[in-house]
């Protein structure tokens, strides 16, 4: 398949919560500037995959980013290497204002001259601009999700791991997230996306993985998945 050279290479990733073995040898690649989605039913292990990449759950396996190993490094160092992470949990500092949250995002990622400017991030998410001086804890859930995404851009990531960015958002905000993904693509920021809205994920992605019970069960182009109804029925239908 035609794709850019791998930016992220994961091989035989296993992960556990206590005694519970959740990832059973996951392998995947993300090319430089590539948007890749991981689809699956609830509980398939997609969020755990992102957490394992960020060093937040007990795991084994090889993880190489820009040709250097990542496994075993602390989350802070992984972020400094250029990987941004937007978890499902609306990860903002509630007592700090929108502005302060965005500025903290700048400190999380690698220092670089060509980072996202604050005004560019605010232009993407007008609700944040309107509430610039408001404490993040007073924002709606959807606005907090926008802020978490905006803050991760401020860290100037090379690769963004995004977990269900559109969950619970209004249609207008979903459009803003889609526009954000489009800009990431244009700027050659790679994305590993978990997205429950399958049509959106397929539209935005160059490649798709499907996960089932802690393993990858499909890898291919969105059109290949669309042409595989039996596979969709087995691993994606509710
Ligand atoms: N903190 C935890 N402790 C124990 N088990 C967990 C924990 N978090 C998730 N699990 C279990 O790990 C498995 C994978 O969950 P995970 O959240 O990665 O799935 P997912 O594909 O992201 O689906 P969802 O959208 O429901 O989060 C599930 O069986 C889930 O119950």
**ipTM for the complex shown:** 0.96
Terminal-residue alpha carbon distance, the chain: 30
- Predicted confidence (pLDDT) per residue in 42-53, tens digit: 999 999 999 999
Ligand 1 center to residue 25 CA distance, Å?
Answer: 16
Ligand 1 center to residue 47 CA distance, Å?
Answer: 7
* Mean pLDDT estimate for the chain: 92
Atom of ligand 1 at shortest range from CA of 40: 21
* Domain 6-235, classified CATH 3.40.50.300, yes or no: yes
Whole-angstrom distance, CA of residue 238 vs CA of residue 234: 9
Does 21 contact ligand 1 (Cβ within 6 A)? Answer: no
- Predicted confidence (pLDDT) per residue in 7-58, tens digit: 999 999 999 999 999 999 999 999 999 999 999 999 999 999 999 999 999 9
Does 184 contact ligand 1 (Cβ within 6 A)? Answer: no
Atom of ligand 1 at shortest range from CA of 44: 21
CA torsion, points 217, 52, 45, 220, in degrees to nearest 10? -30
Whole-angstrom distance, CA of residue 75 vs CA of residue 72: 9
Residue 18, SS3 per DSSP: coil
Domain ranges of the chain: 6-235
Asked if 163 contacts 87 with a C-beta cutoff of 8 angstroms, the reply is yes
Whole-angstrom distance, CA of residue 101 vs CA of residue 2: 39
Ligand 1 center to residue 42 CA distance, Å?
Answer: 8
Atom of ligand 1 at shortest range from CA of 214: 14
Whole-angstrom distance, CA of residue 113 vs CA of residue 152: 16
pTM over 0.80, yes/no: yes
């Amino acid at each position: 398949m035609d794709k850019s050279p791998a930016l992220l290479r994961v091989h035989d990733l296993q992960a556990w919560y206590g005694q519970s073995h959740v990832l059973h040898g996951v392998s995947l690649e993300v090319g430089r500037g590539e948007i890749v989605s991981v689809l699956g039913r609830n509980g398939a292990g997609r969020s755990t995959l992102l957490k394992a990449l960020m060093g937040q759950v007990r795991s084994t396996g090889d993880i190489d980013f820009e040709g250097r190993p990542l496994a075993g490094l602390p989350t802070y160092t992984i972020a400094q290497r250029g990987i941004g992470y937007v978890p499902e949990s609306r990860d903002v500092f509630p007592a700090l204002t929108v502005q302060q949250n965005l500025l903290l995002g700048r400190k999380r990622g690698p220092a670089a001259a060509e980072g996202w400017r604050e005004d560019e991030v605010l232009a993407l998410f007008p609700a944040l601009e309107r509430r610039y001086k408001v404490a993040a804890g007073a924002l709606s859930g959807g606005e907090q999700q926008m802020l978490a995404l905006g803050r991760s851009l401020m860290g100037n990531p090379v690769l963004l791991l995004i977990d269900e960015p559109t969950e619970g958002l209004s249609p207008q905000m979903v459009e803003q997230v889609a526009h954000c993904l489009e800009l990431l693509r244009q700027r050659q920021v790679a994305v590993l996306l978990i997205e429950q809205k399958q049509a959106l994920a397929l539209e935005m992605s160059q490649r798709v993985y499907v996960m089932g019970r802690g393993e990858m069960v499909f890898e291919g182009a969105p059109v290949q998945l669309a042409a595989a109804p039996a596979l969709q029925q087995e691993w994606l239908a509710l």
